[in-house]
């Protein structure tokens, strides 16, 4: 699934089991050494079992340790040609040019890293499911509600039935009336949002297909989902502002939107033109 071993490990680190985390931390500290040793040697160096190393690879959505090593080797090759491989700390009292550069760099980095943890197979499944759904309900709270509203607006423009619910009461009400023809799309960067977890459980009990969009790694929201989509954003002190992570989520939303529109391209173009004329006419009349 992933094209980056190191990004996947960093993203999943806090959700790993203690023994897996021990091995993962060693890999992050010694990536150059790890790509040249066997699973037996790594188990010996980290004090965990060989089975734990294999489970770690599986937790990262990889087939085994050999695949993980291949991705880490590719990461090292890329980083040797990229001096700006990490997120930049934003200095609030810095110059405006420095602010522009650091914020833009982090947003670009977030999208690039998301490409390493976003499965094309799962995106294809999500596009197919969303394209064929009778109704799509998008659940998100806080910063994620902005992402949900963006997706609702985009689907509405191509004549797709989509509603976005920003609070638990409306989420639960919609979820309770869903059927197997509907899709519940839960958006939560942390994957820990209690309202989203409860609403998706209700939707699943109603028979709906559940799609999740969370940060990479094991979390309660993605565990409920039938189709799991992931983003990556390793911002540290500015994480509470949901900055680069929001950009990464919006990028995935754009991917899904274009994928859905392309399924019925001619009809989508007609719908877009109708909505464009309607909006322009409304503004002139106003």
Residue 34: predicted pLDDT = 93
Closest CA to 227 of 138, 148, 121, 136: 121
Mean pLDDT split into 10-residue runs, the chain, 286 residues: 74 90 94 93 95 93 90 79 55 76 83 88 97 96 93 93 93 96 96 96 98 93 96 58 79 96 87 82 58
Q: How far apart are CA 122 and CA 128, in angstroms?
A: 10
Q: Which helix (H) or strand (E) holds 187?
A: strand 183-187
β-strand partners of 243? none
Q: How far apart are CA 165 and CA 206, in angstroms?
A: 17
Residue 234: predicted pLDDT = 62
Could you tell me the end-to-end alpha-carbon distance of the chain, in angstroms, rounded to an integer?
A: 50
């Amino acid at each position: 699934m992933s094209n980056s071993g190191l990004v996947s490990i960093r993203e999943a680190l806090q959700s790993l089991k203690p023994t897996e985390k021990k091995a993962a931390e060693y890999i992050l500290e010694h990536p150059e050494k790890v790509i040249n040793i066997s699973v037996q040697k790594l188990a010996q160096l980290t004090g965990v079992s060989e089975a734990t190393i294999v489970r770690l690879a599986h937790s990262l959505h990889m087939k085994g340790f050999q695949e993980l090593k291949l991705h880490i080797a590719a990461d090292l090759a890329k980083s040797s040609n990229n001096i700006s491989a990490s997120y930049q700390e934003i200095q609030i009292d810095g110059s405006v040019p420095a602010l522009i550069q650091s914020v833009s760099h982090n947003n670009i980095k977030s999208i690039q890293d998301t490409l390493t943890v976003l499965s094309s197979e799962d995106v294809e499944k999500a596009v197919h499911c969303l394209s064929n759904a009778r109704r799509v309900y998008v659940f998100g709270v806080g910063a994620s509600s902005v992402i949900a509203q963006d997706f609702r607006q985009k689907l509405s423009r191509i004549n797709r039935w989509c509603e976005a619910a920003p609070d638990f009461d409306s989420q639960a009400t919609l979820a309770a009336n869903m059927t197997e023809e509907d899709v519940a799309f839960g958006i939560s960067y942390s994957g820990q949002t209690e309202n989203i977890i409860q609403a998706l459980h209700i939707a699943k009990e109603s028979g709906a297909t559940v799609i999740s969009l969370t940060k990479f790694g094991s979390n309660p929201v993605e565990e409920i989902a039938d189709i799991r989509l992931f983003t990556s954003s390793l911002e540290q002190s500015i994480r509470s502002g949901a900055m680069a992570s929001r950009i990464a989520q919006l990028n995935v939303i754009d991917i899904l939107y274009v994928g859905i529109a392309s399924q019925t391209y001619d009809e989508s173009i007609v719908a877009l033109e109708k909505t464009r004329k309607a909006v322009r006419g409304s503004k002139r009349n106003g």
